[in-house]
Structure 1
Amino acid sequence: MGRKTNRKRFWGWLVAALLVFCLAVLAFFPTRYYIEYPGGADRVSKFIKVDGKRDKAAGEYRLMTVSVAGPASPIMLLWGKSQPFGDIVSEQDLMGDQTSSEYNTIQNYYIRSAGNAAIAAAFKAADKPIHIDYRGIYVMSMQANSDFRGKLKVGDTITAINGKHYQKAQRYIDAIKKHKVDTKVTVTYLRGKHAHSVTRKLVQIKGLKRAGLGIGLTDDTRVESKPHVKINAGEIGGPSAGLIFALQIYDQVSGTNLRAGRDIAGTGTIDDHGKIGAIGGIDKKVYAASKAGATIFFAPDIPATKTMKREDPSYINNYVEAKNAARKMKTKMKIVPVRKLQDAIQYLQAK
């Protein structure tokens, strides 16, 4: 009798241990997937100072964010699917071939770049002078075959090739592609505030019949303005705050108050000429804006080109996607299509 009781206890403990183990796996074991879900709708005025002052006029511009959680456990993935407009994305889709550190570096670059472009676009719209300083080319990624791999890294700014500085990323590309594969070139670059130089061979650029450094790159710019504009978005990253930054800055440097007491939200990349570009996760941003009480939401209205359709057959215009999300939510918030900063300015002036 004692042996049977001990055997039952053993199997009871074993089953209990297996259940605890399975629950621990479900709760804590990380998968290679992340959860994207609606984030906040922050007041833009708290991020921006013009001539050392914040905008205290009635109404608010709101910057929406998409929250990312992960690597997610199986239970977290179930939770993510239950969130309004929640999506599960793979690590590859979210970060590509970047490490977490590189991904965060790029997101920080994007928000800084969006701020610079927003300042330039807002000052131009307000007919105020602005100076753009082209520092060089920002290293966004590294090809596996790059001879500069291990020397250059994501986040560096290349300021000269063979001792010559250029004013645009395309000028650097044009200068480099004149050389043949395996030609040695000297690259001068900034890492933080310190300048360095390195000499290595050019490689074949993936998918192109020309030589290159083997990096993904973009312009690294700084803007100088009077009055001085300072943007500090804290831990927020990404390029999609450009439009809403520009509207906030425009109000302050032009001396107008387009908000007129309203809560206004919007999203979209922006260049220094005020051209607006498409972004991701707009359904989540519509949700966050509506919950925060915004009455107007500016959405990029960028028609799909043949190239865009070829690269992404499932492409949906941001404005259309935003309208669909608003309809699903049954929100009264007005979704307004925009292609340039001036569209948003004129809409607010007219209304």
Structure 2
Amino acid sequence: MPRRTATMLASTLVLIALLCAGVLIKVPYAEMSPGPTVNTLGDARGEPVLQVSGRRTYPASGHLNMTTVRVTGADYRMNVVEAVYGWLAHDSVVVPHDTLYPDGKTEEQSTQENAEEFSQSQESAKVAALKELDIPVATQVVVSTVVKGSPSEDKLHAGDVIKAVDGTAVEKPGDVAELVTQHRPGDDVTFTVIPEKDAAAAEKAGRAPEGDEKKITITTAKAPAAEDGGKDRAIVGIRAGTDHTFPFEIDIKLADVGGPSAGLMFSLGIIDKLTPGDLTGGKFVAGTGTIDDAGKVGPIGGITMKLVGARDAGARYFLTPDDNCASAAADIPDGLTLVRVKTLEDATTSLERIRSGKTADLPSCSTG
């Protein structure tokens, strides 16, 4: 066999071997890519994303699109070829697997956590929107979860409204733990509650929780060693949270989406539905950001992928959480203008500038 032919054959065989190895060898990485965007003012799967009952609503044009990121599953293991392709591609990001699924979290656990965060973000989006419109919302402290096998099991239930602990009124979830930990393990603590059934009936009727208040005495236990920091901390085995009573019904219908990052865009969609005129002036605006009950906008993950997804969907402006601005500004897709926001009020002010054509006054993002 001629030397040149032998060399070419050997090179081909080496290349084939390398490609096979690249396909077979798994690496501890995961991939993020742009996910779908959804107009909160429009429909998804044939029904409105935002549905309001018991309050006058107004037609809204334009777009207020929430954005998403696709990620590979917890059980999926990329091979070398896929990882290299992802690193070279502009419309995807390869990150360590533990970044998306820390501490060996399974896909089922991640899905459940994302669903819970999504539900909470919807609740906060409603509260923030109504507060921005000066519409009163009643807030109460409730039992969020009861730990199985804890002193509270079968005594307190998820949804019970906590009015007081040892006769001291509670105004926020942190008050409950503070009052319980004033005791030593083995002490009795008395909760004054409105049972979940009575609270749910009142909430369904649009009233603040009411009903016969009950006093329930619970004997505290010692916190597990891993949680008490070396101290004999008393616990009752519940997690306190907040619940809200809205003066009318607001439903957010969107399947197969998780996490808290759509909060800002849901709030803006609700405001647009409840006020005359168009918040966007008919423009295509997308964005992202968590939101709390007070209207503060928080950072999210996957910002670069969300920018690409928004641009590809047709967005011209992107509402960007302040804490994400530097990384977003490092690689802005052509034709997309980043708008920095810290609060819901910032966002509504910027939308006013967009619809009036005063875009030179928009707060921008920079890499510095």
Distance between the aligned counterparts of 2:295 and 2:244, measured in 1? Answer: 16
Q: Please tell me whether residue 130 in structure 1 is matched to residue 120 in structure 2.
A: no
Distance between the aligned counterparts of 1:135 and 1:159, measured in 2? Answer: 5
Show CA shifts across 1:225-275 (max 9, x none).
Answer: 32x210122111111111111000001112331111111111111111111
- Cα contact 1:298–1:336 (8 A) shared by 2: yes
- Cα contact 1:65–1:285 (8 A) shared by 2: yes
Moved more, 217-226 or 100-109: 217-226
Q: Please tell me whether residue 170 in structure 1 is matched to residue 174 in structure 2.
A: yes
Q: Please tell me whether residue 277 in structure 1 is matched to residue 284 in structure 2.
A: no
Show CA shifts across 1:24-72 (max 9, x none).
Answer: x865776543211221212223321122899753211111101111323
Distance between the aligned counterparts of 2:98 and 2:121, measured in 1? Answer: 24
Q: Please tell me whether residue 300 in structure 1 is matched to residue 358 in structure 2.
A: no
Distance between the aligned counterparts of 1:160 and 1:246, measured in 2? Answer: 26
Hey, what does 1:268 align to over in structure 2? 289
Q: Please tell me whether residue 87 in structure 1 is matched to residue 93 in structure 2.
A: yes
What percent identity do the matched residue pairs reach? 25
Hey, what does 2:77 align to over in structure 1? 72
Output the TM-score relative to the length of structure 2: 0.67
| AA matched with 1:168 | K
Q: 1:213 to 1:29 in 2, by over 3 A?
A: farther
The alpha carbon displacement at 1:86 in A equals: 2.6
Output the TM-score relative to the length of structure 1: 0.70
The alpha carbon displacement at 1:320 in A equals: 1.7
- Cα contact 1:186–1:199 (8 A) shared by 2: no
Q: 1:236 to 1:223 in 2, by over 3 A?
A: farther
Distance between the aligned counterparts of 2:253 and 2:159, measured in 1? Answer: 24
Show CA shifts across 1:124-175 (max 9, x none).
Answer: 1112222334433458xx9xxx986xx9xxxx958589x9595533123213
| AA matched with 1:60 | H
- Cα contact 1:42–1:62 (8 A) shared by 2: yes
Q: 1:266 to 1:147 in 2, by over 3 A?
A: same
Structure 1 gap ranges (5+)? 1-14, 302-316
Residue 257 of structure 1: which of 242, 254, 278 is its match? 278
- Cα contact 1:35–1:69 (8 A) shared by 2: yes
The alpha carbon displacement at 1:283 in A equals: 1.2
| AA matched with 1:178 | Q
- Cα contact 2:60–2:277 (8 A) shared by 1: no
Structure 2 gap ranges (5+)? 1-12, 44-48, 201-217, 355-368
Show CA shifts across 1:296-321 (max 9, x none).
Answer: 111111xxxxxxxxxxxxxxx31122
| AA matched with 1:44 | T
Show CA shifts across 1:308-338 (max 9, x none).
Answer: xxxxxxxxx3112222221xx3x22211111
Q: Please tell me whether residue 114 in structure 1 is matched to residue 121 in structure 2.
A: yes
Q: Please tell me whether residue 225 in structure 1 is matched to residue 227 in structure 2.
A: no
Distance between the aligned counterparts of 1:198 and 1:29, measured in 2? Answer: 55
Q: 1:137 to 1:350 in 2, by over 3 A?
A: same
The alpha carbon displacement at 1:200 in A equals: 5.5
Distance between the aligned counterparts of 1:55 and 1:77, measured in 2? Answer: 48
- Cα contact 1:44–1:62 (8 A) shared by 2: yes
Distance between the aligned counterparts of 2:141 and 2:221, measured in 1? Answer: 24
Q: Please tell me whether residue 341 in structure 1 is matched to residue 344 in structure 2.
A: yes
Aligned residues: 298
Distance between the aligned counterparts of 2:63 and 2:29, measured in 1? Answer: 35
Q: 1:175 to 1:76 in 2, by over 3 A?
A: farther
Partner of 2:246, secondary structure, is strand
Moved more, 229-238 or 29-38: 29-38
Q: 1:30 to 1:56 in 2, by over 3 A?
A: farther
Residue 42 of structure 1: which of 27, 38, 45 is its match? 38
| AA matched with 1:293 | G
Distance between the aligned counterparts of 2:176 and 2:27, measured in 1? Answer: 41
Q: 1:216 to 1:133 in 2, by over 3 A?
A: closer
